[in-house]
Amino acid sequence: MKQTKSSTSAQEINVPNADTIRKKSHLPRNKKFFWIFFVLSAIFLGLGVMLLPVWENTSLPWNDFGARFFSLIFSIIIIFYIVGYLFKQIFKEQKTAIKILTVFEAGFFFAVAIGSIMQYFDSASIGGPGTIVGIAFWSRGFVYIVKAYLCKHEENDEYPLWMLIFSVGLVSLGSIMIANTLFTTSLVIWVVAITLLVVALIFLVFGFVSKPKVDKALKALKKEQKKIKKQEKELLKSQKRAQKLEGKVEANSAEAVDGSEPKALLPAEEKTDK
């Protein structure tokens, strides 16, 4: 008796793999690092909340974190201003008077930076940020005005009018900030804290926007993949049962040809076959 072959085999079933699903779906590859936005959002959110001045009158461990953090960041900004700008002006400037004024300016702000670092450790107390920034504006504007005067009277050279107006504006703004107590440390901390919270919200929105979305086509493919795998398992089981049954039928046929009485399938055997 010829063994019948099933027209469908497990190997002939086309099961979509992960690559096929990826190619057929609209899931972009360049959004796999979307979680970085959520991490940055959490970091900025934590800093913004801890910087809020509302904790100053509480007994929480971070009640003075805002003032300390601001002193440290302010000192770093001043050092970058000295190294990145004032030192370049000292080495680039050809006029001796301007160079001396810039050296004095760099020395003053270096002392302010040291004072900010000491204030971080509660070892000193310097003026508020409005006063220091006002002094920075006033000193820069004063240096530019002196430079304009030297260009006009010593070198008989024209100084740009817009630069002169800008210099006068810096001196005026600096004088207002020095005289006015509006720009306090608490106000600046509020501005920085709210800015960090807004940045955290922006990163959170970017995270949700960049998060890959599984579209309907991808869901359908995954569902079809599970369905085909289930059919594959059922087909393999049915093929094994059919092979066992065909083997027993062939054995009974061979016994009938030899003249012996073929064995009937016992209920126990049938149960075993099942």
Domain ranges of the chain: 33-210, 216-273
Total count of residues recorded for the chain: 274
Q: Per residue in 18-29, pLDDT tens?
A: 455 444 444 444
Q: C-alpha dihedral over 80, 84, 86, 88, to 10 degrees?
A: 160
pLDDT digit string (tens) for the chain, length 274 residues: 444 444 444 444 454 454 554 444 444 445 667 788 899 999 999 888 888 888 777 777 777 777 777 778 888 888 998 898 889 888 888 888 888 888 998 998 888 888 878 877 766 666 667 777 888 888 888 988 888 888 777 666 677 788 888 989 989 888 887 777 667 777 778 888 899 999 999 999 988 887 776 555 666 777 778 888 888 888 888 888 888 777 777 767 766 666 555 555 444 444 444 4
- Residue 182: how many other CB atoms lie within 10 Å: 10
Of 247, 240, 248, 222, the closest CA to residue 9 belongs to 240
The pLDDT assigned to 229 comes to: 82
The pLDDT assigned to 20 comes to: 52
8-state DSSP, 145 = H
The pLDDT assigned to 19 comes to: 52
Q: Global pTM?
A: 0.54
Token readout for 160 is: 């740009």
CA-CA distance, 155 to 147, in Å (whole number)?
A: 11
The pLDDT assigned to 259 comes to: 58
Q: Per residue in 28-53, pLDDT tens?
A: 445 667 788 899 999 999 888 888 88
The pLDDT assigned to 269 comes to: 46
Cα-atom radius of gyration of the chain, to the nearest Å? Answer: 41
* φ and ψ of 121, to 5 deg: -95, 15
Q: Where are the beta strands (DSSP E) in the chain?
A: none
The structure tokens 């030899």 sit at 258
